[in-house]
Amino acid sequence: METAGALYLGHGRCRFHVWAPEKQHMMLHLVHPRERTIRMQQDAWGYFTAEVEDVAHGTRYYFNSDNEGDFPDPASFSQPEGVHGPSEVVDHTSFTWTDAHWKNLPLQEMVLYELHVGTFTPEGTFEAIIPRLEELRETGINALELMPVAQFPGGRNWGYDGVFPFAVQHSYGGPEGLKKLVDACHAKGIAVLLDVVYNHLGPEGNYLGKFGPYFTGKYKTPWGAAINFDGAYSDGVRAFFSENPVYWLRHFHIDGLRLDAIHTMFDQSATSFWELMSHKIAQATQESGRPFHLVGESDLNSPRVVQPAETGGYGFNAQWLDDFHHALYVLLDKKGQSLYEDFGQMAQLVKAYTDGFVHSGEYVKFRKKTFGASSAHLPGDTFIAFTQNHDQVGNRVHGERMSVLVNFERLKLSAAALLLSPYIPMLFMGEEYGEDNPFLYFVSHSDKKLIKAVQEGRKREFAGFKWEGEPPNPQDAHTFESSKLQWQKREKSKHNLLLKWYQHLISMRKEMPALRNIDKERVQAAALGEQGFILLRQSMDREQQLLCLFNLSEQELKYEWPTPEPKYKLVLHSKDEQWMQQKEGAKEMPDQIATGTSIKLPPLSVVVYASVEM
């Protein structure tokens, strides 16, 4: 049972909990629809409780500790008047779910789609996403990953400035809107993962410190005070955050979480926060009968992230694989070399396919030390791979997507490199049709000093990374509006051609046994000089082999298949007439190849051959 928040019990009764271990008194101040003040009772663990009659869904309230003033509930389920307003009682039992049949999808079957609710549609709401689900499903997308929806200041934010981890952003549609979206997704066979932030809270509307020692000066994060997971009074903090995943599973039927920057969560307890959270999730999934996936964003390059928490790991099912993006991006966009000085060799991309982490103990200039450990032993479904995401796009000065950085043929190569990999692929919204609007950093704070600090901090950050130019003003509404998708472009010329290319690759991935196999022992790769590489995928029973040949250069590349193997038939060619903007640019390739066959790979192309029985 939840240890914090307003738990609606039905029949007009509600139990209010708040953790404030250093406070002497706590008053519950009901402000709407009828004003009342009620003294709360304290237990030995520092929790104040009051069970109140005549409280309905929608009742608004504050807490007031030791006469210090009214503040919203740290575990608020809804903030309809924003981060500074009263909290709202939510009856989580009132929603009518229709997804009793839903059993979730295995991670290895997912094609993820990272989505920012505010910029995905003109309306910027959960419900506005629902009419577009069918087109996503037809593309092959079967899992959404929503960027953070925890209540943040104003109506424009990436979501990483959230200050109420249990409250759903009111401008997106609040708790009801999110439930409608999840229910609609499940009806179409689409899973929903949610991005959550447990390493810090945003600067505006952050009232947790008014109630208890949620934060610590013992550690630091780049974005604000670190969470107190192992200091004095940390039991209440650990309970607060470890119950959050269960909250999303139980009340919103969320299928998994992506945890932001777990390397900035610090805990030296004998029983780690990760072990505590894993235990609670295991109990909840047993009750629900559905698996619940945990994905971590980690800057550690450590296989421990996906090792069981009870054996000293972090307990995640998978982690983001930044090295794959870096290794591929600098080979597709030569200007990227200045941004990722430790990448740029074809052998590194090969290692990303066979091992996962490219940096696995080598000296890394950017970090000025040896970095990482080998992940060669980990199966493919322990990694989420991507060629774009909110960070890689939004943390450029002008928020450029890959579609405006490289030409069309390189975009096709990027898609093939990702979707033919042994990893769980993730697309960033709009990537599938080459969206060319930027995805910029935007906020809507109300504190003028904070706004100035964000603007200046953004400039310093880009200066430190040698970016040219100044970033658009994050506070300007135009920055937000210019980041919205142009969905109608999916049907137009090159955008529609790219969309069909993605659809075809995803269908290959789902239908071909060799591409469904995530065992890296069945993955081989080798560089073809610095011009291209060969990727060999094999089904678990070895009956199907796929020979994927990539030419990333602007020159023709000769390749000779030397090994005595079965014949291979052509199954994909990016320079085939159907995939070309200008038909005159099409090139023919042999329909079959066998031992000793010499083929010429056109510039900027990918060719896939599948084994056939003799």
Which two tokens mark 158? 């990436």
Q: Are 432 and 115 in contact (CB under 8 A)?
A: no
> Is residue 92 part of an annotated ligand binding site?
no
> Is residue 63 part of an annotated ligand binding site?
no
Which two tokens mark 128? 């506005």
β-strands 87-88, 60-65: how paired?
antiparallel
> Is residue 496 part of an annotated ligand binding site?
no
β-strands 256-259, 532-538: how paired?
unpaired
C-alpha 459/C-alpha 463 separation (Å) is 6
- Any idea what the Cα angle at residue 103 is, between residues 101 and 104, rounded to 5°? 130
> Is residue 193 part of an annotated ligand binding site?
no
> Is residue 324 part of an annotated ligand binding site?
yes
C-alpha 572/C-alpha 582 separation (Å) is 18
Q: Are 95 and 24 in contact (CB under 8 A)?
A: no
Active site residue 297: yes
> Is residue 258 part of an annotated ligand binding site?
yes
> Is residue 73 part of an annotated ligand binding site?
no
Question: For residue 372, what are the contacts with CB-CB under 8 A and spacing of at least 6?
Answer: 300, 301, 302, 357, 359, 360, 361, 362, 364
> Is residue 256 part of an annotated ligand binding site?
no
From the list 2, 145, 161, 297, the catalytic residue is 297
> Is residue 323 part of an annotated ligand binding site?
yes
Which two tokens mark 352? 């990303």
From the list 260, 355, 381, 432, the catalytic residue is 260
- Longest CA–CA span in the chain (Å) reads 86
Q: Number of H helices and number of E strands within the chain?
A: 16, 31
Instruction: Give phi and psi for 560, each to the nearest 5.
Output: -125, 125
C-alpha 161/C-alpha 147 separation (Å) is 12
> Is residue 573 part of an annotated ligand binding site?
no
> Is residue 25 part of an annotated ligand binding site?
no
> Is residue 295 part of an annotated ligand binding site?
no
C-alpha 351/C-alpha 514 separation (Å) is 19
Instruction: Give phi and psi for 62, each to the nearest 5.
Output: -130, 165
Angle at which helices 234-242 and 273-288 cross, to 10°: 40
Backbone dihedral region of 264: left (phi > 0), alpha (psi from -120 to 50 degrees) or beta? alpha
> Is residue 392 part of an annotated ligand binding site?
yes
132: nearest Cα among 81, 184, 192: 184
> Is residue 395 part of an annotated ligand binding site?
yes
> Is residue 262 part of an annotated ligand binding site?
yes
Residues with catalytic annotation?
260, 297
Binding residues for substrate: 258-263, 322-326, 390-395
Binding residues: 258-263, 322-326, 390-395
